[in-house]
Chain A
């Protein structure tokens, strides 16, 4: 059994040597799973919000903002030996967990939270496009939580949830 590395909310971790990067119970957050299939080097970012708006992420929370997490992931993977033009990506999560009827969120810079999952997905896709990294797998949206296990040696992502069929991307 390979080593399982937990990537918590807003974290970003990379690994090789057939480790498994995992995020448990993703709701509106998005897991960005990027890898170099040739070198078998992989990284996972647990993105919480779409934009940093000029804010620096807190220490140990490089994965917090989509616009910073994606470039950081690319950079860190290249630092440990991945080749940029071989990188591929899969994204998972971005659900909308609660439907609160008839209520507009109180004033907030984040806007209505109802769309935050979708906005996270959108923001990650924009960044990937900017950096020309192919998106080769996606399991996003819906109203249910997901657990992600990302195998660095195969690039396979196993997605499980409570009431939906387990899938492999």
Chain B
């Protein structure tokens, strides 16, 4: 994606800086995840972009697509929220890797698996935030995450309301991870409160005009 499409007024160099944060965060997250599941984990960040809020459900296949979402608020020097969206199949294969012998039967995902995914969301967002913290010198404090498995639209609509006043564009960091040969695709979405994005970019040395 070029800097112009869907990316408000960010330049290519600003997008690059944000993606680099993503890469460093991915490195942190891979180590943490691999310790948790005791398997080799490769994590990469193929893309980072600014997207209009309203387009988020489309990223995962439309508002009715079933997804797993892990959502948490950020406090500290800057505020905002983070949402990790995993497509249902990705979420299920990831959960199965972490909890191979789930006793819960039936179509609905058991408590242990849900909790494992919630923890994954927490680790990934924590890793990204700590990378962002190291590079900007800002302090970010993530909340305990909430978990939901439902339609993408319904999850987004909760987030929209929770945000109240926020930037109209959000930072979407695509993460690709492979756990013992199983490929999992997720979207880590950072919703900055008003002013937060400007502060972050300034600290990264690529200020908004």
Please give the distance in Å from A154's CB to the nearest CB on chain B.
22
B100 at the interface (CB under 8 A from A): no
Main secondary structure of the interface of B (DSSP, over half): mixed
Instruction: Given the known inter-chain contacts A97-B155, A145-B155, please indicate yes or no for A25 contacting B64, CB distance below 8 A.
Output: yes
With A and B bound together, what is the CA distance between A109 and B164 in angstroms?
8
Please give the distance in Å from B71's CB to the nearest CB on chain A.
5
Q: A9 to B54, Cβ gap below 8 A? A: yes
Please give the distance in Å from B173's CB to the nearest CB on chain A.
20
Give the A-binding residues of B (Cβ under 8 A). Answer: 54, 57, 62-64, 66, 69, 71-73, 75, 79, 107-108, 143-158, 160-162, 164
A116 at the interface (CB under 8 A from B): yes
Q: B73 to A105, Cβ gap below 8 A? A: yes
Q: B160 to A147, Cβ gap below 8 A? A: no
A95 at the interface (CB under 8 A from B): yes
Q: What residues of B have a CB within 8 angstroms of the CB of A96 in the complex?
A: 158
With A and B bound together, what is the CA distance between A9 and B63 in angstroms?
11
Instruction: Given the known inter-chain contacts A24-B153, A25-B157, A102-B144, please indicate yes or no for A162 contacting B164, CB distance below 8 A.
Output: no
With A and B bound together, what is the CA distance between A116 and B154 in angstroms?
13
**Could you list 10 examples of A-B contacts with CB < 8 Å?**
A9-B54, A26-B154, A95-B154, A97-B150, A101-B146, A103-B144, A110-B162, A113-B158, A147-B63, A162-B150
Q: B161 to A49, Cβ gap below 8 A? A: yes
Q: A100 to B64, Cβ gap below 8 A? A: no
Please give the distance in Å from B159's CB to the nearest CB on chain A.
9
Please give the distance in Å from A156's CB to the nearest CB on chain B.
19
* Nearest residue, chain A, Cβ from B88: A162
Q: What residues of B have a CB within 8 angstroms of the CB of A29 in the complex?
A: 157, 161
Q: What residues of A have a CB within 8 angstroms of the CB of B164 in the complex?
A: 108-110
A38 at the interface (CB under 8 A from B): no
* Nearest residue, chain B, Cβ from A109: B164
Q: What residues of A have a CB within 8 angstroms of the CB of B149 in the complex?
A: 162
Q: What residues of B have a CB within 8 angstroms of the CB of A101 in the complex?
A: 144, 146
Give the B-binding residues of A (Cβ under 8 A). Answer: 8-9, 24-29, 48-49, 95-103, 105-106, 108-110, 113, 116, 143-147, 161-163
Instruction: Given the known inter-chain contacts A109-B164, A147-B64, A162-B66, please indicate yes or no for A100 contacting B151, CB distance below 8 A.
Output: no
Q: What residues of A have a CB within 8 angstroms of the CB of B107 in the complex?
A: 163
Q: B162 to A113, Cβ gap below 8 A? A: yes
Instruction: Given the known inter-chain contacts A24-B63, A24-B64, A103-B143, please indicate yes or no for A144 contacting B150, CB distance below 8 A.
Output: yes
Instruction: Given the known inter-chain contacts A25-B57, A48-B161, A49-B161, please indicate yes or no for A100 contacting B154, CB distance below 8 A.
Output: no
Please give the distance in Å from A161's CB to the nearest CB on chain B.
8
Q: What residues of B have a CB within 8 angstroms of the CB of A97 in the complex?
A: 148, 150, 154-155, 157-158
Q: What residues of A have a CB within 8 angstroms of the CB of B79 in the complex?
A: 106
With A and B bound together, what is the CA distance between A163 and B149 in angstroms?
10
Please give the distance in Å from A53's CB to the nearest CB on chain B.
12
Q: A106 to B75, Cβ gap below 8 A? A: yes
With A and B bound together, what is the CA distance between A25 and B108 in angstroms?
19
Q: Give me the 5 closest cross-chain CB pairs, A-B, nearest first.
A: A25-B153, A145-B154, A98-B146, A27-B154, A25-B63
With A and B bound together, what is the CA distance between A98 and B73 in angstroms?
12
Further pairs besides A9-B54, A49-B161: 8, Cβ < 8 Å: A27-B156, A98-B69, A100-B73, A102-B144, A105-B73, A105-B162, A145-B153, A163-B107
Q: B73 to A27, Cβ gap below 8 A? A: no
Please give the distance in Å from B141's CB to the nearest CB on chain A.
10
Q: A25 to B154, Cβ gap below 8 A? A: yes
Q: What residues of B have a CB within 8 angstroms of the CB of A113 in the complex?
A: 158, 161-162
